[in-house]
Structure 1
Amino acid sequence: MNKAELTKSIATGAEVSYELARKMLDAFQQTIENALVHGDKVSIRGLGAFVVSDHSARYYHHPLTGEAKMARAFRSVRFVASKQLRDLLN
């Protein structure tokens, strides 16, 4: 399901216009992004949680030359499904 299909589903389920559903989805996305940028965890009961994972810098060897290089530290976003969602899928 892509963003347009999700927006259409929200509009139908909430009995609102497509434009309003799109604005709601955009605001939801922006809110999650802002919280994650500030290092906060976003938990949605029954669905799961969006969490920021910090990965430290590390050395690796280039596979062709064998040269040792340094990979920079970075942050990524993980989604951890709730037990309720995991049980629904299994």
Structure 2
Amino acid sequence: MKSYLNNLHKAFENRTRLGVMSALTVNESVSFNDLRELLGVTDGNLASHLKALEKEQFIEVRKSFIGRKPNTSYMITKVGKTAFSEHLDALEQLIKEQSK
């Protein structure tokens, strides 16, 4: 097995998790509602994927209030940024190898 394949992380196999990580990579933080709208998923579906990424310590949650309304936003962690970058690099290597 090619060594770069070890950098493919199971946590990123789902399109919703890929979408979350992609959004958080290019934004300082993203609210739950914005992620839900961007990815076109239900509250429950998104919540379960966010919990899985948080469990891996790839993202962190920040809860606050805007006026009197609660607001939950998410940020990518240093660990998450590294793991996601390695995952994307491994995918790129796999694609390049297949196109030879």
Q: Same fold judged by TM-score > 0.5?
A: no
Structure with the bigger percentage of helix: 2
